Amino acid sequence: MTLKILVAQLNATVGDLVGNAERIRQSAHRAYAQGAQVVLTPELSLVGYPPEDLLLRPLFLKRAAQVLDELVVQTSQWPGLAVVVGHPRLLEGRLVNSATVARDGAVLACYGKLELPNYAVFDEQRYFVADGAPVVFESAGKRLGIAICEDVWFGRAAAMSKAEGAEALLVLNASPFHLNKQEERLAVARKHVSRHRIPTLFCNLVGGQDELVFDGDSFVLDAAGEVCARARRFVEDDITVNFSASGALVPGAVAEELSADAQAYEALVLGTRDYVLKNGFKGGIVGLSGGIDSALTLAIAADALGADQVTAVMMPSPFTAEISLEDAKACAQALGVKLSTVAIEPMMQAFTKSLEPTFGGPGQGLTQENLQSRIRGVLLMALSNETGRLVLTTGNKSEMAMGYCTLYGDMVGGYAVIKDLLKGGVYRLARLCNERAQAAGRPQPIPERTISRAPSAELRPDQTDQDSLPPYDELDDILARFVERGESIDDVLAAGHDRATVAKVLRLLRLSEYKRRQAAPGARISPRAFGRDWRFPITNRFETEKEMPQAS
């Protein structure tokens, strides 16, 4: 007897029970049409991931149970097909992160997750209790075990399944993307699963959910731990897996690898698209400055939503260089995005004059600089109110880390497209955009001059970012080590960084916590973003920069 399994890499939406059930049904249709005996869906595929505190609401759990029951009954439409669905299950007042196998209109088996991640972006111990009792069911004469995501980051679940006689392991995942995550997943799977010499099918979620992007990247490992099928990333996709009559896995399609920069770019596009569309908006607004951050943000927005669904607006001040105006125009034109221009000088004058009696003068430099940024914020929001389009924020991670951004000014917006991308990454992705455009015979969206000129906020004459910040290559490496990879300060210093520079970075990082707390969400693409996986107090007297170990 041969066995065919469809691994359905779905884009579920949090809370959309009826819509997610429909997606699962369509997968079952496809599986049945292809003669498959099993269709596998991602972790919590029925409710989306992570549902967060919706899991504390009785009505949500009740409706999820009802929708699951309906789905179970409907499996009688596909005789012999086992449908594996992820969902929360309430058992005697305790909630279990579960996988139900339904076939021929009835529940065949139900597995509960054993390992509940409660670190980084994960809070599963807030909601769930651990189960982990092994579940094995039979299909086409083959015994199949089940595990859920974190379970395979430890050895126990696979070992227990194997001990129960499983001949292959089905794994439901909601494993969020960050750069190099797929290597980690593979290494872990090989370490904890393949050593049991059991073929394993990983079905991962795909799509954006607030700060998280799920990249899909579902894959199948044979008993030797070799990849023998792999789904495309950042899109919904199916893998069809065949076991021959002898029980051997038949190699399937292996999707092409993407470069690290292409992965980051696709993650930002998907995160932006899903945030905007799943929240019921149709389009976005980007404030262009003539600089590289806003140019890249616009390019991503145009890819995510379509150029006609994006509006760009240039808001020059007397400090805006002529080349900034030219470059902004060139960028919008190359992307086919409509550009408006609103000069901010009349508002600068009105504010300055109105505040003069209180200030007894025009106000200090910083006050004046922030005023410009905030006038732009007000204009962007007025455009958003008027058009119903969502403001997409343009700040990058290096700025956000250092507080080199203005609250209620350039931080204004519903979604911060590149907030988890360090400045060096902004340059790399800008070049990637241009290369792709060139390869497709389209005009390059990011003007060469935007890439080559020194970055500036243009809030005063002759300002550059490096007046306030360390050079970006140093800054980015310190941030990548300390923030993203969680290296100790000893390790950061051992990498050769200047002590005074490290101390300055640590100080600014601490002092700008209050700004980040009020920032818009944005796609996480690094191992640690400034979001759910960065929970630092604002009120914090631990001055890391002063506690640094003395030079030896």
Convert 336-403 into a string of H (helix), E (strand) and C (coil). Answer: CCEEEECCCHHHHHHHHHHHHHHHCCCCCHHHHHHHHHHHHHHHHHHHHHHHCCEEEECCCHHHHHHC
Q: Quick count: other Cβ atoms within 10 Å of Cβ 503?
A: 16
Shortest separation between residue 323's beta carbon and a second copy, angstroms: 23
Q: Using CA atoms, how far apart are residues 313 and 284, in angstroms rounded to an integer? A: 11
Residue where the block lists tokens 């929001």 = 381
Long-range CB contacts for residues 537-544, cutoff 8 Å, separation at least 24? 537/513, 538/513, 538/514, 540/510, 540/513, 542/510, 543/507, 543/510, 544/489, 544/506, 544/510
What amino acid occupies position 391? V
Shortest separation between residue 490's beta carbon and a second copy, angstroms: 8
- CB nearer to a second copy: give 1 or 538: 538
Shortest separation between residue 180's beta carbon and a second copy, angstroms: 20
- CB nearer to a second copy: give 208 or 216: 208
- CB nearer to a second copy: give 442 or 542: 542
Q: Quick count: other Cβ atoms within 10 Å of Cβ 157?
A: 26
Shortest separation between residue 35's beta carbon and a second copy, angstroms: 33
Task: Work out whether the CA dihedral 248, 252, 256, 258 comes out positive or negative.
Answer: negative
- CB nearer to a second copy: give 195 or 536: 536
Q: Using CA atoms, how far apart are residues 362 and 211, in angstroms rounded to an integer? A: 40
- CB nearer to a second copy: give 241 or 508: 508
DSSP string for residues in 254-305? BPPP--HHHHHHHHHHHHHHHHHHHTT---EEEEE-SSHHHHHHHHHHHHHH
- CB nearer to a second copy: give 216 or 225: 216
Shortest separation between residue 178's beta carbon and a second copy, angstroms: 17
Alpha helices by DSSP H, 34-155: 58-74
Supply the residues annotated as catalytic. 43, 113, 149
Could you give the 3-state DSSP secondary structure of residue 111? strand
Q: Using CA atoms, how far apart are residues 183 and 275, in angstroms rounded to an integer? A: 27
What amino acid occupies position 59? L
Convert 447-495 into a string of H (helix), E (strand) and C (coil). Answer: CHHHHHCCCCCCCCCCCCHHHCCCCHHHHHHHHHHHHHCCCCHHHHHHC
- CB nearer to a second copy: give 134 or 316: 316
Q: Using CA atoms, how far apart are residues 228 and 274, in angstroms rounded to an integer? A: 30
Shortest separation between residue 408's beta carbon and a second copy, angstroms: 4
- CB nearer to a second copy: give 79 or 346: 346
Shortest separation between residue 464's beta carbon and a second copy, angstroms: 21
Shortest separation between residue 483's beta carbon and a second copy, angstroms: 11
Q: Using CA atoms, how far apart are residues 531 and 513, in angstroms rounded to an integer? A: 11
